[in-house]
A = this chain, B = another copy of it.
Amino acid sequence: MTYCVAMALKDGIVCISDTRTNAGIDQIASVRKLSVYGTPGERAIIIQTAGNLSTSQAVLTRLEQQFGTEFETILNTPSMFDVAKLIGDTMRNIVADYDNGPSMQNIDMTSSFLVAGQIGKAPTESFNIYPQGNFISATPDTPYFQIGESKYGKPVLDRILAYDTSLGEALRCGLVSFDSTLRSNLSVGLPLDIAVYPADSLEPPLIRRIDEDDAYFQQLRSSWSTGMRTLMESIDPPPSDYWQHHLK
């Protein structure tokens, strides 16, 4: 499985992905699910993937093969909307190649994508591309998207994240969301990849990989775990007549 978050904030974009591809007993592989594209000074694009790995790899490879050709590519589309449309259409074409082929019974060939970025003077934008290839855009009311194993880490985002949260604070909140997911679900695993894009920088961000030895992440996990226990203990348990108070 997979867990990816993309936060589209006033100050820019924060993306985090795990790298676990197969949580079976004897075959845990690690693969990058976060990719960055762009042209310095002109556009920056961050793409995250979940779902069928052969499809998501094929989509990215097909998109990259078009660079420098006469075709429309994610490096020359006029808008982020068109970048999302290109990703969705490319996936639909790839999945259609395999549909109804031999041995396709009950195999889900689809992938999900998050794409976020900025082109020229347009504002930053973020899209969630569904397995069907259609997509929606993030808004300030709900300034984040998740794909993959999203439920474990959703409550902390819902409680903390807002459109005007700073990039560093959003990264901190996102890492807590990943910590909760890592603890509760073995199919999401370290290392994590992060990419942070400050709005209007138009500089494709580089990716930082966070593994078990990362000092900041270690300290955040430890502080959060201790803090949660302290917070729980700071709330009085219900008195026994609360749960012995009978309403039949």
Contact = CB atoms under 8 A, between A and B. Distances in A.
Given A152-B151, A167-B243, A235 B208 contact: no
Contacts of A156: 228
A45 interface: no
B184 A238 contact: no
B168 A237 contact: yes
Size class of the contact patch on chain A: 35 or more
A107 interface: no
Nearest to A150: B151
Main secondary structure of the interface of A (DSSP, over half): helix
A234 B176 CA distance: 13
Contacts of A224: 231, 235
Given A151-B152, A151-B184, A231 B240 contact: no
Nearest to A233: B169
B171 A158 contact: no
B151 A240 contact: no
Interface of A: 149, 151-156, 158-160, 166-169, 171-173, 176, 180-181, 183-185, 194, 196, 205-209, 216, 219-220, 223-225, 227-229, 231-232, 234-240, 242-248
29 contacts: A151-B184, A153-B155, A155-B155, A159-B228, A160-B229, A166-B237, A168-B238, A168-B239, A168-B240, A168-B243, A171-B237, A172-B236, A176-B232, A196-B243, A196-B244, A205-B246, A206-B248, A207-B248, A208-B242, A208-B243, A208-B245, A216-B238, A216-B242, A219-B235, A220-B235, A224-B235, A227-B234, A227-B235, A228-B231
